[in-house]
Structure 1
Amino acid sequence: QLDYLIALGTHQPMEEEAIDRLVGVPAAKRAERYPNVQIFNHHWDQPSWLRHIGTIPRAEASQLTAGLLAEDVPIVLNRLIFDYNHLIICGPVFPHEVAGFSGGAKYLFPGIAGPEIINFTHWLGALVTSMHTIGVKDTPIRRVIHRAAEYVPRPLLSICLVLQGSALHGIYTGACVETFNAAADLSASLNIITKPHTFQRVLAAPAEIYDDLWTAAKAMYKTEPAVADGGEVIIYAPHLTEVSYTHGHLIDEVGYHVRDYFLKQPARFQDVPGTIKAHSTHVKGGGTYDAETNTETPRIHVTLATGIPEERCRRINLGYLDPRRINPREWEGREDEGLLYVPHAGEKLYRVPAEC
């Protein structure tokens, strides 16, 4: 018996048509050819699908996170794993805004995890900041993920894929930590682009596979390090009409803000899940907040040129630009002018040398 559990984290369950496209075989043919194979969606927010397998104690959590977060971390996973004798983790390794790199045990946490550890790791990533996490192999978040994986009561085999675009460059199989480390090294050499200088404006155009800002925001995360102070990232995605299909109502209430906006108002945001606050500050980027004057000063400006209405963009504290006014071709070949155009944004990480 070989079944598949889609590691969705907090993303929406995939509909049958989407699963058909993902695996390349329609459901009817799968049932005919592979009658003993099933494909499941993960349900992070349904307690009946989850099981508690242990807790990282407060003191150890503090040690793993270098003192950033000192609280018990309940480890909750999809209960389906207990129906099997062996677990195989399979997925790509790319620079990632929360964990440093995707891949390996990250497909357990948050991939098939419950809300507690998802919120913990995402808020931890926000405290470190995306700028100091993305493209870094050893992060506090990755340490928590690897420690949590040690609680899994089934043998684990990790298959880490390294791609550049759609081209496969490496497959690493074996134990979670060793395969991840090797795959992250290769991925860094393929998927991190170092530019000689920063840019005043970046036009980042994510692919249409990203169907809401929650996912398309990778266009911001992976270009932010190459933007000069006071510069601007324009997320150019006319096909986008939604902020988040899963969390949109919460984001409408909270908006997008720099990290210190939340840190200096803990009581106000104590009931907001860490995942929401983390997404908010990752999209807004670095900056400062003065609680006495209620003044928020982001390091850069983030502007949406999407199908999301201007009123909503302003309400959630992001800039707006009519996508009909943008011609991507006019941005090409102008790097010496401080303008960078990134098609397929979100696939590769752009940054500059530390001295820039």
Structure 2
Amino acid sequence: MTTLYPGVAPAATVGGPETTLTDEEIRRFVVDSLSALDVDGKRVTIVVPDGTRHAPVAMMAHHIRDALGTRPRNVRVVIALGTHDYMSEPAIAALMGYEPGHFADEYPGWEIHNHDWRRDETFANLGTIGAARIGELTAGRLTDRDMTVLVNRMVVDTDISLVLGPVLPHEVVGISGGNKYFFPGLSGHDVIDMSHWVGALITSYEMIGSVGITPVRQMIDAAAELIPSTKLLLGMIVKPGSDALQFLSFGDTRTSWEACAEVSSQVHVAYVPKAYKRVVSVIPTMYEDMWTGAKGFYKMEPVVADGGELIIYAPHITQVSVMHPGIEEIGYHNRQYFVGQWERFKGHPWGELAHSTHLRGLGDYDPVTGAETNRVTVTLATGIPRDVVERINLTYLDPAEVDLAALAADPDTLVVPNAGELLHRTEAQRLRLPA
């Protein structure tokens, strides 16, 4: 049953927060859901996440293939990169479960594409949402700019857009998934920049894990309404630390997301007894630069004590951002640093400003003295050189000097493996955060 989207058909679901679904339960749910879907002679576009999202995409894609059979006129798969780097053929093969170079053998009649976000001809212009409406959607946070809605043509020039994706706590929108796979997953820069900046104005600390329809969710839902194809979500709740699935939903991208979001809020949040003076986020290799690896900060910020330190331990990361070199120009700063100097920064891509604040966390800025103060110290123990780390306003630590075992033995330190997967909060924050 839906409470957030009255009048929209509720999603079909299987599983729950205390469940681990069997292979047969998963297969049967996908087959039953898609067998009942009218796809005969229709064009189907499947939207999948890239390699920075942990989920059994290959298994689910094979079930979708079997359920659709030869009924559709054609099937295309598009990888929702947002502004992440394009996936290579070996990476796509690993994502979708086929031998490199043999996609057509594994998925007969299908095509697969990276979202080619660098090329203007990739996009369809769906129109503009006016500044007044943006003001309403954002509760007055952004009132002076129209939003042009550009989206990958593949979800416009199709009959059915079927999103396959996991649902997790997210620093910009609250809980990821659903229409977020269109915006920013397949989006032009206007929606990306404006929605991310609104999220930054709220702050990741307050936003991440919000189950309801946040201002950013309202923005992307409004943009998605302009997509003419039928929009469906096969949503997944992945059991932490595994490839197992606990919950699946299928239906409209809004109510299917709503069903998953409620379960995610129970499954993907870890509660610890206190805030720690030091938190060490051990970043998995699936995050290849700080743009993606910053999730090790987003999801741990609530459990770092005031004045404490968060260490991002990732010797494999050697670059700040492959696709967004502008981060090295502006560095990492809190929200107030940019708000207090808006004339200076308003011409910089807002998505980069937002990312900057998300990794720096809460803080303040005095425009009179130019002094920036931050709630916590952010330390990079990565392969990024010291001079770069210090230039971007963070603290450097040689990863060779990090003794994870010794740090884990310190009662004032929390060491988190595979950081970026689970949102962490303290017991005192239970039912209080997000605001």
Normalising by structure 2, report the TM-score: 0.79
**2:112 is the counterpart of 1:39:** yes
In 1, Cα distance between equivalents of 2:329 and 2:216: 27
Query: Does 1:204 find its partner at 2:281?
Result: yes
Q: State the partner residue of 2:226.
A: 151
> Structure 1: how far apart are the matches of 2:102 and 2:124?
33
C-alpha deviation, 1:333, in angstroms:
4.8
Task: State whether residues 69 and 124 of structure 1, in contact with CA within 8 Å, keep that contact through their aligned partners in structure 2.
Answer: yes
CA gap of 1:283–1:108, structure 2 versus 1, over 3 A, is: same
Q: Following the alignment from structure 1 to structure 2, what is the Cα–Cα distance between the partners of residues 324 and 34?
A: 45
Whether 2:84 is the aligned partner of 1:11: answer: yes
Q: Structure 1 residues 161 and 33, CA, compared in 2 at 3 Å: closer, same or farther? A: closer
Across the two proteins, how many residue pairs are aligned to each other?
353
CA apart distance, 1:351: 1.0
**2:89 touches 2:101 (CA, 8 Å); kept in 1?**
no
Match of 1:267? Answer: 343
Deviates more, 1:323-332 or 1:253-262: 323-332
> Counterpart in 2 of 1:285?
361
Q: Which residue is 2:32 aligned to? A: none
1:317-328 equivalences under 5 Å are: 317-328=393-404
**SS class of match (2:347):** coil
Tell me if structure 1 keeps the 8 A contact 2:124–2:156.
Answer: no
Partner of 1:314: 390
The 5 A counterparts of 1:326-341 are 326-334=402-410, 337-341=411-415
Q: What is the deviation of 1:33?
A: 4.2
The answer for the alignment partner of 1:63 in structure 2 is 136
Matching residue's letter, 2:356 = S
Shift, 1:27, TM fit:
4.0
Q: Distance in 1 between matches of 2:127 and 2:239?
A: 37
**Letter in structure 1 aligned against 2:219:** V
Give the Å deviation of 1:43: 2.1
Task: Specify which of 186, 189, 203 is matched with residue 263 of structure 2.
Answer: 186
Q: CA deviation at 1:196?
A: 2.2
Task: Kindly provide the amino acid, as one letter, of the partner of residue 246 in structure 2.
Answer: H
Mapped contact 1:243–1:308 kept (Cα < 8 A): yes
Contact 1:44 1:115 in 2 (8 A): no
Asked if residue 112 in structure 1 is aligned to residue 186 in structure 2, the reply is yes
Q: Which moved more, 1:324-333 or 1:169-178?
A: 324-333
Q: Which amino acid aligns with 1:283?
A: L
Local SS of the residue matching 1:344: coil
Deviations 1:182-228 (A, max 9, x none): 10111111110122211110010011111101001100000001111
Give SS of 1:2's match.
strand
Structure 2 CA distance for aligned equivalents of residues 29 and 253 of structure 1:
41
Deviation at 1:75, TM superposition (A): 1.0
Confirm or deny: 8 A CA contact 1:45 1:115 kept in the other structure.
no
1:237 alignment counterpart: 314
Structure 1 partner of 2:71: none
Aligned-partner Cα distance in 2 for 1:28–1:47: 27
**1:54 deviation in Å?**
2.2
SS in 2 for 1:126: helix
> Counterpart in 2 of 1:296?
372
Distance 1:109 1:292 in 2: 38
Residue 126 of structure 2: which of 30, 46, 53 is its match?
Answer: 53
The CA deviation at 1:176 is 1.6
Confirm or deny: 8 A CA contact 2:290 2:319 kept in the other structure.
Answer: yes
RMSD across aligned C-alpha pairs, in angstroms? 1.3
Match of 2:156, SS? helix
* Alpha-carbon distance in structure 2 between the residues aligned to 1:276 and 1:208: 22
Whether 1:214 and 2:291 are equivalent positions in the alignment is yes
The residue identity in structure 1 corresponding to 2:218 is R
Q: Aligned letter for 1:85? A: D
- Once residues 348 and 44 of structure 1 are traced to their aligned partners in structure 2, the CA distance between those partners, rounded to angstroms, is 29
Matches of 2:424 and 2:128, distance apart in 1:
37
Matched, 1:258 2:334: yes
> 2: distance between equivalents of 1:144 and 1:13?
26
Structure 1 runs not aligned, ≥5 long: none
2:246 alignment counterpart = 169
Q: Which residue of 1 aligns with 2:66?
A: none
Structure 1 residue identity aligned to 2:406:
E
Q: Give per-residue Cα distances to partners, 1:285-308, cap 9 Å, x unaligned.
A: 110000110100011010000000
**How far does the alpha carbon of each residue in 1:80-131 deviate from its partner, in whole angstroms, 9 at most, with x for none?**
2233211101100011111111111100000001011000111111000000
Structure of greater Rg: 2
Quick check: 1:45–1:114 contact (8 Å CA) kept in 2? no
Please give the TM-score of this superposition, normalised by the length of structure 1: 0.96
d(CA) in 1 for partners of 2:101, 2:422? 36
CA contact (8 A) 1:97 1:134 kept: yes
